[in-house]
Structure 1
Amino acid sequence: MGVHEIKVYTGYMGQSYLNHEQAPNAYLPRPRFVFHVTPGSVAAGGYVEPYPAQKIPAAEISLAGADVSITPVQGPVQTRAVLRGSGFPAKAPVSVIWGTHAGSRVSGNGFAPKEQDLARLIVGPDGRLDAPLQIPEDLGGMHTLTIRSGDKTLARTFFATESSVVSISPTSGPPGTPVTIHLKGVGWTDFDNIYVATYDNAYMGYACGFNSQGDVIVNFTAAGSPGTHLIDFYPGIYQGPATDQQLYRLPQLTYADDHPGNKIPALRFAFEVTSSPKR
């Protein structure tokens, strides 16, 4: 509690430049703010900030007169959705194919698109489809749902899988307590395949979801004095051009305004550090 000073430094590669008065860009401002922390409490646990609406591409139609859509168009894994379509061959058997990616940027084996059967349906006598679907556990980000008759693609629509919090466990304990955070639906592109973690605003590291198909488990040790401690997972950029400012694998505090690629929110957690047992 009390007065806390916040300084915004200029710098390079995500690091603060201390003798800025002697820098060639000393004319740049270095704002300072004061924040008053007041008494209060935060419930232990975790949550996802409100998810921005994703930019969903228009359906791709290969069969003249056909149409296809899915409702809702975004949500976490295991979302119950409804696939609707019209203009398909009456009483024809069709397959719904889920499109994703699989692989790794680190192993050297690369990555590639991957498809899996999600459902097999029979078109109604009026050429319509109306089928409930459950979004599979998979990577976050954009996925395709393709309507196929044999090897022929008839139509394709899109669904955006959101990152979600499964759990933080435990939510309290003395210093030294092992803590696990479990996420699902973490993405695969360079813009959304990592979350960068801070503990009480101090950098912890980053977690990647591509190699584990979006299922992320982060283990760490609780530390600090008794009271509430905040763990934040921020969007970041995994990698990019090795020129100019390389702000990679760092928390992007302006994520809500200008994070590239998919618009993903921060994840917020609180852990209650209790007193160590007396010996």
Structure 2
Amino acid sequence: MAQDTDISAELEDKLSQHRRRQTPASGTLVMGSQEAYVGDEVTLLGRNLPESIELTVVWHSVNGSWGVLKANEILGPQYQSKEKRLTTVTTDADGKFDESIEIPEDYGGAHTVELRAPDGTNLGQGEIEVTPHFEIENRTAPLGEVFTITGYGLGPNPLTNNYQVTWDNGMVGFMTGVMNNGKATAQIRAAGPVGEHVVQVWRNYRGVPFLQNNTQSPYGPVAGGRQSSWTVETTEPEGEPESMWIDAQFDETPLEVHYPDIDEDTDAELEITPTSGKPGTTAFIRGENFPSDEEVDLVWYRHQGHRVKGIPITPVPQPDVLPSVTTDENGSFQVEVEIPRDVGSTRPITAEIDGTSVAITGFMMQPDVVDISPKKGPVGTEIDIKITGIGWTVYENAPYFVYDNKPIGYVCGVDDEEENGITHIKIRASGEPGYHFIDAYPCIFEMRDEEPNFEIKPHLSYLDNHPVRPLPAFHFAFEVTE
């Protein structure tokens, strides 16, 4: 029995476009250079093309993101093909054109440049290799300020997606360009003593510097010959540095995937304003479409469990943290609350009537600095540091501490009811008399993909490339006395 082979006009058009694009290129495109950096100008020479035709110059690349499950488990970098229209060119009467393009801000590696006719046909293409490189914004900075390094053309290849930054030959942490078209930013503390220091960028997919990068690596120098190390100068500060601070944070919304299931699906609605903030934030919880003149219990949830011990981490109700309210004749209420100290990330809030949850919302708990004590003392002084709001998810639960740009180790946002959401560490003061700086950077505690290796290392490009959410770093200053 013959099958019905009729297809829609829309599908036929798509198939025709596909067939046209698979047609072998009929023209010639020669690139003025086989290798380039982001921002370089490259000449395109088109020959053997139809005369007096306008063609689109199409740049082929990828979109990068982090593969994530349930806003918690980090799979690794993920990339999908994309194309970008750079410009248009018009051939002359002999089917030729000469044109210059600027290499766009994009990932490194090989990129195809295509000449596309108005009907979608590929009339010619060439390939160019984009080489990753780094630039430093400033060569001097007062003690306690930062040197800013920006990388361009990083990734998507695992080898070119993991770069290590060292300070005076000690590794500080890594940079990656998983997101933002291969661009990454890192800020390195201007640590003491006052005077000259060396900042250098290395490359290794294993996450530690491969010291033959610039001599015997089969992949060539770190930046293809451009500068990847700088002599910088730390100068005297104009005044005393702050003893503790945290990076600016953004307005966020809770992640519903971390909510518990409610007992009964009703028309009741629950919301909180603002939706994010630090412990101590004043918030308003509003409810609508509840039964009139009804007592409603508001219930705060904390995620509890232990990943290393194999105890599943789940949201657990915490009684008596939030108040009970009574709805008005319209079934509405509004109550002012103070956000308590607790573990970070999404904190679910449910509304219960007679023990049955009927509505849910959430608050995105953001981290904060609590205390550093003492703030000065001789070498060997025990420095007591407290921070709060560290989340339970693998991309935020292990801030990595460095002392004068030298890694010490990580802390864990463990659930400790006695500490009430406070992460508490003690380290010893060291170094010459003067100010010393302690920074705690976000890190990735676990990642499913083995390459490149980003696990349990200070993530220096957290500002624009950390998975799931933009997280802040914590900063402290301690004065070593005579």
Calculate the TM-score normalised by the size of structure 1: 0.90
Q: How does 1:204-223 map to 2 (within 5 A)?
A: 204-212=408-416, 214-223=421-430
Structure 1 residue 181 and structure 2 residue 385: aligned?
Answer: yes
**Is the Cα–Cα contact under 8 Å of residues 44 and 272 in structure 1 kept in the other structure?**
no
Runs (4+) of structure 1 exceeding 3 A deviation are 55-62
CA–CA distance in 2 between the matches of 1:105 and 1:57?
A: 20
Instruction: Kindly provide the amino acid, as one letter, of the partner of residue 63 in structure 1.
Output: T
Aligned pair partner of 1:47 in 227, 245, 248: 245
Query: Which residue does the alignment assign to 2:281?
Result: 79
Instruction: Kindly provide the amino acid, as one letter, of the partner of residue 285 in structure 2.
Output: L
Instruction: Kindly provide the amino acid, as one letter, of the partner of residue 191 in structure 1.
Output: Y
Q: Deviations over 1:69-101 (max 9, x none)?
A: 212211222322211122211111111121221
Structure 1 residue 6 and structure 2 residue 203: aligned?
Answer: no
Query: Which residue does the alignment assign to 2:310?
Result: 108
Structure 1 residue 119 and structure 2 residue 323: aligned?
Answer: yes
Query: Secondary structure, in 3 states, of the residue corresponding to 1:22?
Result: coil
Q: How does 1:1-279 map to 2 (within 5 A)?
A: 1-20=194-213, 21-26=215-220, 28-29=222-223, 31-40=228-237, 41-56=239-254, 62-64=265-267, 66-117=268-319, 118-212=322-416, 214-275=421-482
CA–CA distance in 2 between the matches of 1:99 and 1:25?
A: 50
CA–CA distance in 2 between the matches of 1:145 and 1:113?
A: 10
**Is the Cα–Cα contact under 8 Å of residues 46 and 168 in structure 1 kept in the other structure?**
yes
Q: Structure 1: which 5+ runs fail to align?
A: none
Q: Deviations over 1:79-131 (max 9, x none)?
A: 22211122211111111121221011123334322112332221112221111
Further displaced range: 107-116 or 120-129? 107-116
Larger Rg over CA atoms: 2
Instruction: Kindly provide the amino acid, as one letter, of the partner of residue 37 in structure 1.
Output: T
Further displaced range: 178-187 or 102-111? 102-111
Instruction: Kindly provide the amino acid, as one letter, of the partner of residue 24 in structure 1.
Output: P
Instruction: Kindly provide the amino acid, as one letter, of the partner of residue 100 in structure 1.
Output: R
Q: Deviations over 1:203-231 (max 9, x none)?
A: 01000012336321110100000000010
Instruction: Kindly provide the amino acid, as one letter, of the partner of residue 224 in structure 1.
Output: G
CA–CA distance in 2 between the matches of 1:28 and 1:172?
A: 40
Query: Which residue does the alignment assign to 2:7?
Result: none
Instruction: Kindly provide the amino acid, as one letter, of the partner of residue 228 in structure 2.
Output: P
CA–CA distance in 2 between the matches of 1:157 and 1:241?
A: 30
Query: Secondary structure, in 3 states, of the residue corresponding to 1:12?
Result: coil
CA–CA distance in 1 between the matches of 2:294 and 2:342?
A: 29
CA–CA distance in 2 between the matches of 1:35 and 1:55?
A: 40
1:154 deviation in Å?
Answer: 2.7
CA–CA distance in 2 between the matches of 1:28 and 1:176?
A: 39
Query: Secondary structure, in 3 states, of the residue corresponding to 1:250?
Result: coil
Q: What is the identity percentage for the equivalent residue pairs of Structure 1 and Structure 2?
A: 31
CA–CA distance in 1 between the matches of 2:275 and 2:449?
A: 35
If asked which structure has higher relative contact order (CA below 8 Å, sep 6+), I would say 1
**Is the Cα–Cα contact under 8 Å of residues 52 and 264 in structure 1 kept in the other structure?**
no
Q: Structure 2: which 5+ runs fail to align?
A: 1-193
CA–CA distance in 1 between the matches of 2:310 and 2:232?
A: 47
Query: Secondary structure, in 3 states, of the residue corresponding to 1:15?
Result: coil
**Is the Cα–Cα contact under 8 Å of residues 183 and 217 in structure 1 kept in the other structure?**
yes
Instruction: Kindly provide the amino acid, as one letter, of the partner of residue 94 in structure 1.
Output: V
**Is the Cα–Cα contact under 8 Å of residues 174 and 222 in structure 1 kept in the other structure?**
yes
CA-atom RMSD in angstroms? 2.2
- 1:42–1:15 CA distance, 2 compared to 1 (3 A): farther
- 1:53–1:25 CA distance, 2 compared to 1 (3 A): farther
Query: Secondary structure, in 3 states, of the residue corresponding to 2:394?
Result: coil
1:44 deviation in Å?
Answer: 4.8
Question: What is the total number of aligned residue pairs between the two structures?
Answer: 274
Instruction: Kindly provide the amino acid, as one letter, of the partner of residue 205 in structure 2.
Output: Y
- 1:178–1:28 CA distance, 2 compared to 1 (3 A): closer
CA–CA distance in 2 between the matches of 1:249 and 1:82?
A: 37
Query: Secondary structure, in 3 states, of the residue corresponding to 1:256?
Result: helix
CA–CA distance in 2 between the matches of 1:139 and 1:253?
A: 23
Q: Deviations over 1:30-72 (max 9, x none)?
A: 62234332221442511111112224458999433x4332122
CA–CA distance in 2 between the matches of 1:143 and 1:130?
A: 19
CA–CA distance in 2 between the matches of 1:191 and 1:57?
A: 14
Further displaced range: 19-28 or 213-222? 19-28
